[in-house]
Amino acid sequence: MTIMRKIKVVNLTRTVPVSVTGTACALRCKHCNAHYLQHMIPVTNLNVPPFTKSVLVSGGSTPDGRVPVLEHMEEIKNLRERGYKLNFHVGLVDDMEAKEISKVADAISFDFVGDEEVIRFVYNLNKKVSDYVRTFEYLRKYTKKVYPHITVGLNCGKVSHEFKSIDILSKYSLEKVVFIVFIPTPGTPFENCPTPSLKDVKSVFTYARKKFMCDLNLGCMYPKGKDRDKIAMAAIESGFNVITQPSKKVVDFLEKEGYSIEYSDECCVL
């Protein structure tokens, strides 16, 4: 008897991003430089489109690596009262912040970095890997719906922290881990860096599948153009459970190969 393989395909149309800092960010990380805040809805002007089902609560960072969501918790609670599911994209937090966020979060996304040189160089942040582990454990203390994100090629397109991050996180009993892939972004210090090689992407994905017993997601942030389908196919070949924003060509491949496809229109962690 043939076992039908299952996979979730996410077409991200009904989750909108909200920034608690508008377009401001104190860190100006080298891969982002506040670029991705430009297209978010400011929390002070919550004109959420009518098709919305869920909200990504995000924003820029303070100099110590926090995303100051608690300072805007009243507006955020208002979103919850209006019936939206909430996925919090947080930075470093303490125990009290983790507790308060967990009270209203349907999911918490946390960018994990397992190398101190990368933290300093890319994030312009004087923190240690232990600070990231501490935040992760504070969040997990209050909810299991904490989903670490690992960026392949975060350090100017080079593999640097990824295997260390996987090793650290594989010691926990997790529901899912999200992988995204570095995008050279105009207007950032890394705009001329290469996208990670497909060989490197495959090696990280394959290693992750060996180390994690949980669901693995390919998130929405990965390069467009000729590399996009190759990255999505690498995730599929590595046994990932969720593919976000794939092309029609990739979906046609899944159908042809007999996958049982579940479709979603919200953030891949929801």
Residue extents of the structural domains in the chain = 6-264
Write down the pTM of the prediction.
0.97
The sign one gets for the Cα dihedral 96, 141, 144, 200 is: positive
DSSP three-state, residue 164: helix
Mean pLDDT of the chain: 96
**Mean of the pLDDT values across residues 68-94?**
96
The answer on pLDDT for 63 being more than 80 is: yes
What pLDDT, in 10s, does the model give residues 12-53? Answer: 999 999 999 999 999 999 999 999 999 999 998 888 999 999
pLDDT grade for 1, boundaries at 50, 70 and 90: very low
**Mean of the pLDDT values across residues 158-184?**
98
Say which residue the tokens 């998130």 belong to. 219
Which pLDDT belongs to residue 45?
86
Q: How far is the CA of 153 from the CAs of 37, 93, 135, 142, 262, in angstroms?
A: 21, 25, 22, 31, 29
Which pLDDT belongs to residue 86?
98
CATH class of 6-264: alpha beta
Distance, in Å, from the CA atom of 166 to the CA atom of 207, rounded to the nearest integer, reads 8
Check: CB of residue 113 under 8 Å from CB of residue 165: yes
Start-to-end CA distance of the chain, whole Å, equals 32
**Mean of the pLDDT values across residues 168-194?**
98
Say which residue the tokens 């989903």 belong to. 147
The answer on pLDDT for 54 being more than 80 is: yes
Distance, in Å, from the CA atom of 48 to the CA atom of 84, rounded to the nearest integer, reads 10
